[in-house]
């Protein structure tokens, strides 16, 4: 657990900091590893570029109804950048001065950058996913058959990244069917000729593709006694299993995958790479991803 203090909207009203401030905002946010990861990188960056010794990454607990006021104040108080986590990624959209194409497609932003006219929104979760799959599993989304579990915000961003990278096919499983149908329908305009199928996670079909990459974007596994969201034996020899959950580090899904001898990785690398990309955007500098990875691993230890 990070010892970084958790600040509030009341702290922000009276905020004063002489250096360059960055922060993650969310609710809950106490568990966030982002300050530890970013401050570790900034300390190393400051060794060769002293201006970064004046940069610091904070943590703010902000309720959804506080978001409009908070975004105004963060801007007035000259914060350089904000990372958004649950539940703000979609809520912030209407308060942005500009946003990139991915934010528009995903309806979610996780990285806001200070500009003269307001906040500019980007989404680095997509980059984080591709970079994590490459680093941990040596896999590219391009050409892959992907079985994506979940149809919430995280799954939606992952699905768009799969399509953007030209996966071969996308199979999305979810428990609640109306949510799934809405996502599948919505993705069709982005899919071009890539087939996008929906299936019921509670009774997976027998024709799921063989040699697929399985991505878990449900929240099933966050609680230590959660069962796996799907029985991997229902899928013919997946090429690998990636779980976006990193705490606990091994979910029931990853345990089953390991028992079946499949390559596995958890979401810590995705957290690190999305963070590294955010810091690159804010600093315009090269960011030490290895330092961020080591800090994340250390901080995530149970
Ligand atoms: P996030 O922003 O992390 O994606 P979310 O939008 O709340 O969070 O989405 C959570 C996902 O986990 C959804 O796909 C949800 O499925 P439903 O649409 O059926 O709710 C899935 N999920 C959560 N609890 C689940 C459970 N017990 N069994 C199966 N899926 C579950």
Which runs of consecutive H residues, i.e. helices, occur in 34-81?
34-48, 67-76
Domain boundaries, the chain: 6-123+269-299, 129-266
Mean pLDDT computed over 161-169: 97
pLDDT recorded at residue 131: 97
Name which residue sits closest to atom 12 of ligand 1, judged by CA: 218
What percent of the chain has pLDDT above 90?
96
CB-neighbour burial class of residue 85 (10 A; exposed 0-12, middle 13-18, buried 19+)? middle
What do you get for the CA distance between the two ends of the chain, in Å? Answer: 8
In the block, tokens 């329908």 appear at: 185
Q: Is residue 1 pLDDT above 70, yes or no?
A: no
- Give catalytic status of residue 59 as yes or no: no
pLDDT tens by residue, 176-192 = 999 999 999 999 999 99
pLDDT tens by residue, 259-282 = 999 999 999 999 999 999 999 999
Q: By the 8 A CB rule, do 49 and 88 touch?
A: no
Q: Report residue 302's pLDDT band, with 50, 70 and 90 as the boundaries.
A: confident
Name which residue sits closest to atom 8 of ligand 1, judged by CA: 152
pLDDT tens by residue, 200-228 = 999 999 999 999 999 999 999 999 899 99
Instruction: Tell me if the domain spanning 129-266 has CATH number 1.20.200.10.
Output: no
Q: Would the CB of 84 count as within 6 Å of ligand 1?
A: no
In the block, tokens 């300050």 appear at: 35
Q: Would the CB of 151 count as within 6 Å of ligand 1?
A: yes
- Chain-wide mean pLDDT for the chain? 96
Q: In what order do the strands lie in the sheet with 240-243?
A: 196-200, 169-174, 145-149, 213-216, 240-243, 264-266
User: 6-123+269-299 and 129-266: same fold?
Assistant: yes
Q: Report residue 94's pLDDT band, with 50, 70 and 90 as the boundaries.
A: very high
Domain range 6-123+269-299, its CATH number among 2.120.10.90, 3.40.190.10, 3.30.360.10, 3.40.50.10860:
3.40.50.10860
């Amino acid at each position: 657990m990070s010892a970084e203090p958790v600040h509030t909207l009341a702290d922000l009203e009276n905020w004063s900091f002489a250096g360059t401030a960055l922060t993650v905002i969310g609710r809950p946010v106490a568990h966030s590893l982002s300050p530890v990861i970013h401050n570790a990188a900034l300390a190393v960056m400051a060794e060769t570029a002293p201006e970064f010794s004046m940069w610091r990454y904070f943590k703010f607990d902000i309720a959804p109804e506080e978001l409009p006021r908070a975004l105004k104040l963060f801007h007035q108080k000259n914060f350089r950048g904000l990372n958004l986590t649950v539940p703000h990624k979609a809520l912030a959209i209407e308060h942005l001065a500009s946003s990139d194409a991915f934010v528009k497609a995903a309806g979610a932003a996780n990285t806001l950058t200070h500009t003269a006219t307001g906040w500019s929104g980007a989404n680095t979760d997509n980059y984080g996913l591709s970079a994590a799959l490459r680093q941990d599993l040596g896999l590219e989304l391009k050409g892959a058959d992907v079985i994506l579990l979940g149809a919430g915000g995280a799954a939606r961003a992952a699905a768009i990244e799969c399509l953007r990278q030209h996966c071969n096919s996308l199979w999305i499983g979810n428990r609640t069917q109306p949510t799934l149908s809405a996502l599948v329908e919505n993705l069709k305009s982005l899919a071009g000729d890539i087939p996008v199928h929906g299936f019921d996670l509670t009774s997976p079909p027998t024709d799921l593709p063989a040699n697929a990459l399985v991505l878990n974007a449900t929240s099933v596994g966050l609680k230590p006694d959660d069962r796996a969201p799907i029985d991997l034996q229902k899928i013919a020899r997946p090429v690998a299993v990636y779980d976006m959950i990193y705490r606990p580090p091994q979910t029931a899904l990853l345990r089953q995958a390991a028992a079946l001898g499949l390559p596995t990785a958890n979401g810590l690398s995705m957290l690190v790479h999305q963070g590294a990309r955010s810091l690159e955007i804010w600093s315009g500098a090269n960011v030490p991803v290895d330092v961020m990875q080591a800090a994340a691993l250390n901080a995530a230890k149970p």
